[in-house]
Amino acid sequence: MAQGFIAIAAARATRAGASIDRVLDVAHHAVHHVNLRGAFDTLDYLERGGCIGKAEAFLGSLLKGNSVIGMKDGEVFPYARERSRARAIDYLYDFAANFGDVEGLAVEYAADFDEANRLVQRLRAKFPQVPVYLSRASPVIGTHTGPSLIAVSVFGNRQGS
């Protein structure tokens, strides 16, 4: 959905009659306003998929808990390690709540619909005027993250930005 928000922005510009150059400008601008964080309980799937090395996966397994990752300059980047699943979900909520001027939110999950839906409800309460999408992560994403994935995508500006 992080990419989806960019596509939606470009489609809106197209529908409004923008030139192709303007649509490209809108898409490039949108890239800088889309943020993603995902939580999952093991690094094994990232290691198997070649996203991280064996040493990093081993160290992560020693620490236990839920990893929180995001994208930074096109690379997977670790942001936090939470001791429990509940704390990881709270991290994702707090991450989204620290944005202002939010145009869209999305929660994606691999296997636990109920958990993802509870997060959607919390976000809708915080941002009642903002569309909040709920979707299942693609099999390709799930292959790299495993069945415990839950992710939040935000299209907006960080508070104070």
Q: Encode pLDDT of 143-157 as tens digits.
A: 666 678 899 999 998
Q: Tell me: domain 34-158, CATH 3.40.640.10, correct? A: no
In angstroms, the CA 19 to CA 46 distance is 40
Average pLDDT value for the chain: 83
| Distances, alpha carbon 36 to alpha carbons 27, 108, 132, in Å | 17, 10, 14
Q: Where are the domains of the chain?
A: 1-32, 34-158
Sequence-ordered list of residues with C-beta below 8 angstroms from that of 139, at least 6 positions apart, any chain: none
Q: What is the pTM of this model?
A: 0.82
What are the pLDDT digits (tens) for 71-105? 766 677 778 878 888 999 999 999 999 998 899 99
Strand, coil or helix: 77 = strand
What is the C-alpha separation between 22 and 10, in angstroms, rounded? Answer: 9
